[in-house]
Amino acid sequence: MQLNYSNPQHPLSSPETKTRKPRLHMLCLSPLGTRSRQLFIPRLLKIYLFRWEICLSEKQMLVVFLSSLCVSCRMQCPRAGNFECSVTKLKFEMRSGGTLTYMYSSWDQHLGKAEMQDWMAAGPLFNIQADASGKVATIHLPLFICLKGRKTDISQIKIAHFLDVGMTVEEPTRMSPFHVVLENPTFSFLGVLCKSMYRLFHFFPIHSVVQLYQSSRTASLHLYVIPNDSSLIQAIKDEEEKHHSMLVQKRPQTDEPLYFGSHYVVRSSTDLKINPEELEFSYQNPGQLQSFVEICVGKEGRIELSLRKKENLCSVWDAWLEPGIYSQMEYFLLADTRQLCKEELKSF
């Protein structure tokens, strides 16, 4: 499988660029008044990311991945078979080779207020196009509602298909733990919704993740608790990177599914300032700013963070943070590198 992210308006998407041999360009970087270090910038678009390597020392390498300027994804399937996009978690079963183009969309741009009262998003919404729909035997749409133990009434899970005439609802062909399958699909805007006759959305268990970002300007962490939805993860990443924040690499999955409307608190092993003190787990569209808990860490040593249920303080997620691993120098390096990226792109 070859996965490309393309933007027709961007010079890197031209045929000439795709055949260009990678070149290694060397610049000098002097962060925070330290002695110059060499910044090696390969002028090569690898799949959908630019890769920048900063040589800090002979033993340490800081690798920074910067999102490309592209907004759509293109999957080129060379033959019949099963293919999965590692970024969006979309899966396709192809009858023959073909090309699929897709991008995230937002539910609130397509659902009216009345519909939003009766339907709950159960996965990302995609705008999908194929060079020939007949080449696609099945599509597997990501689902963040937990089906384990059959606590969810799966008859309420539908596939929303938005056309010029409005929304139509289709029955899934079958379901797997993390996907809803539709055979012989026709493409436009597709996503998974869940209907509740009594609007009791808090009865649905939700596969959930925690995203932890380190601010570059203050000694604080931003902790997000969201459904395991790749469009929400990407929206948070885009917003945090605007402010030069960095993702803290910790286990994202919660120990058990969470429930919309439930309340959770963040606890630490030391006396830290945490605001707000509690949060309500909910779904916010990717186009909205996602809510987070701010944790002021200062110059603390080793810290344990945990996410706990408010009613009984049972932990549903925890992580250890080691002192000194998020130095301010790395964040200034990241900011300087992004600026260099913009300048380098102008010379392509």
The distance from CA 264 to its chain's CA centroid, rounded to whole angstroms, is: 22
* CA–CA dist 141, 145 (Å, integer): 12
DSSP-assigned beta bridge partners for residue 232: none
Which pLDDT band, with edges at 50, 70 and 90, does 225 fall under? Answer: very high
How many Å apart are CA 124 and CA 128, to the nearest integer? 12
Q: Mean pLDDT across the stretch 93-121? A: 88
**Is residue 197 predicted with pLDDT exceeding 80?**
no
Integer Cα distance of 1 and 249 in angstroms: 27
Residue 179 confidence class, pLDDT cut points 50, 70, 90: very high
User: In a 3-state reduction of DSSP, which class is residue 10?
Assistant: coil
- Residues 225, 264 contacting (CB under 8 angstroms): yes
> Does the pLDDT value for residue 265 go beyond 60?
yes
Beta bridge partners of 68: none
The pairing of strands 98-105 and 119-130 is antiparallel
Predicted local confidence at residue 202, as pLDDT: 66
Yes or no: say if 120 and 204 are a contact pair by the CB < 8 Å rule: yes
Task: Report residue 199 CA to chain centroid gap.
Answer: 27
Rounded distance, CA 231 to CA 228, Å? 9
Mean pLDDT of 184-194: 92
CA distance 178 to 207: 9
The residues facing 317 across adjacent strands are 307
Q: Count the neighbouring beta carbons within 10 Å of the beta carbon of residue 66.
A: 15
Question: Would the pLDDT of 165 be above 80?
Answer: no
Name, in order, each residue with C-beta under 8 angstroms of 116's C-beta and a sequence gap of 6 or more.
Answer: 107, 108
pLDDT of residue 252: 96
- Taking the C-alpha atoms of residue 313 and residue 16, their distance in angstroms, rounded to an integer, is 58
In the structure, what pLDDT confidence band is assigned to residue 337 with cuts at 50, 70 and 90? low
Q: Within 10 Å of residue 162's Cβ, how many Cβ atoms?
A: 19
**More confident position, 148 or 151:** 148
The answer to whether residue 213 scores a pLDDT higher than 70 is yes
The 10s digit of each residue's pLDDT in 17-71 is 333 333 333 323 223 333 333 333 333 323 333 333 333 233 322 222 333 333 5
Q: Please report which confidence band the pLDDT of residue 335 belongs to, taking 50, 70 and 90 as the band edges.
A: low
Q: Is 264 within 8 Å of 307 (Cβ atoms)? A: yes
